[in-house]
């Protein structure tokens, strides 16, 4: 009960912070609502279709990672419940840990396999986003953040595939229960990441699903007359998702919007217009999945 109250408080406080950002950026909420309702139906349909395909690819990728044998229909339902828990948790880190228990319960996989699957999923995301974010260097010539994340992702791949390192770490774990858990975690990670065919499949799926995300973000910016090259838009999207990692608010609220608004404002666009576009993007990448996740949870429970 206390965690639910904390989450609700952070969600409401995050929305309040977004309102403050809106005020300072000069965004008129009433005008924004009118703009949203004036977006052509065909554009909304295309953005929704892109979002659904992106989600299906995410689900298929995670199914490959965790090795679940559940029917696709059930798997999609359970994977979406995991998304819901991650999006409403107090921070992204806590949300990812919460998914471990959600997948253990609903996907019927061990906690160590659930944890290693989530870590591997995020490693592939970081690799793609790190490469995509390199374009921001053209705006911030002294930005080392993309390179740092790329190095981190490559280090994690090496770490999770190195049997000698795993043996060294396991020797330092005093508890037998924890040692067995860690050993199974490392084993699953090694088996998957050392399998070249699986690695290539996961990498291609990651590139494709993030490409769809970038296309939607870029087209939404274009609708709001923010005309920037696709690679720069993809870079800004990636940096915004990296910012989410440091957010204490559910779903990366404030940090995602703040990063995108700040970077596009540096290029010379009006903060109010940029924030309007990002709010629309978040309808598809955040709020939609909270709604669908609640429906999925209601059906399951």
- What's the whole-model pTM score? 0.85
Q: How far apart are CA 104 and CA 97, in angstroms?
A: 11
pLDDT at 54 over 80: yes
pLDDT at 217 over 90: yes
Closest CA to 126 of 159, 156, 86, 96: 156
| Mean pLDDT score, 215-240 | 93
Longest Cα–Cα distance in the chain: 62
Q: Is the CB of residue 166 less than 8 Å from the CB of residue 275? A: no
Q: Is the CB of residue 41 less than 8 Å from the CB of residue 279? A: no
Give the model's pLDDT for residue 152.
Answer: 74
**Six-digit token string for 70:** 């559940």
- What value does the CA radius of gyration of the chain take, rounded to a whole number of Å? 20
CA 41, 222, 249, 20 torsion-angle sign? negative
| Mean pLDDT score, 181-199 | 80
**Six-digit token string for 95:** 């949300």
List of residues 6+ apart from 211 with CB closer than 8 A: none
Give the model's pLDDT for residue 253.
Answer: 79
Give the model's pLDDT for residue 171.
Answer: 79
Closest CA to 242 of 223, 262, 225, 228: 262
Task: List the alpha helices (DSSP H) in 40-91.
Answer: 41-66, 72-88
Q: How far apart are CA 274 and CA 269, in angstroms?
A: 7
| Mean pLDDT score, 153-168 | 78
pLDDT at 24 over 60: yes
Higher pLDDT, 175 or 225: 225
pLDDT at 7 over 60: no
Q: How far apart are CA 214 and CA 285, in angstroms?
A: 11
List of residues 6+ apart from 221 with CB closer than 8 A: 227, 228, 233, 264, 277
Q: Lowest mean pLDDT: which of 114-128, 187-201, 278-292?
A: 187-201
Closest CA to 127 of 59, 216, 220, 61: 61
């Amino acid at each position: 009960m206390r965690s639910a109250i904390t989450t609700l408080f952070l969600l409401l406080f995050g929305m309040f912070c977004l309102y403050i950002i809106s005020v300072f950026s000069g965004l008129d909420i009433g005008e924004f609502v009118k703009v949203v309702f004036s977006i052509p139906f065909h554009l909304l349909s295309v953005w929704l279709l892109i979002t659904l395909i992106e989600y299906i690819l995410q689900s298929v990728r995670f199914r490959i990672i965790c090795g679940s044998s559940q029917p696709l229909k059930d798997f999609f339902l359970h994977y979406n419940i995991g998304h819901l828990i991650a999006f409403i948790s107090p921070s992204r880190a806590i949300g990812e840990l919460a998914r471990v228990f959600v997948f253990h319960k609903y996907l019927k996989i061990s906690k160590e396999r659930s944890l290693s699957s989530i870590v591997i999923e995020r490693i592939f995301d970081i690799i793609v986003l790190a490469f995509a974010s390199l374009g921001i260097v053209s705006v911030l010539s002294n930005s080392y953040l993309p390179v740092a994340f790329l190095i981190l992702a490559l280090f994690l791949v090496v770490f999770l595939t190195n049997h000698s390192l795993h043996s060294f770490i396991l020797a330092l774990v005093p508890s037998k229960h924890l040692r067995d858990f860690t050993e199974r975690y490392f084993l699953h990670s090694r088996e998957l990441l050392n399998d070249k065919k699986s690695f290539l499949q996961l990498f291609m799926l990651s590139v494709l699903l993030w490409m769809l995300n970038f296309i939607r973000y870029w087209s939404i910016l274009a609708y709001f007359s923010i005309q920037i090259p696709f690679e720069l838009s993809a870079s800004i999207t990636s940096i915004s998702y990296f910012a989410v990692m440091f957010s204490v608010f559910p779903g990366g609220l404030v940090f995602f919007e703040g990063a995108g608004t700040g970077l596009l404002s540096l290029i010379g666009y009006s903060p109010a217009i940029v924030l309007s576009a990002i709010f629309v993007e978040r309808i598809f990448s955040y709020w939609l999945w909270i709604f669908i996740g609640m429906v999925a949870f209601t059906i399951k429970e």
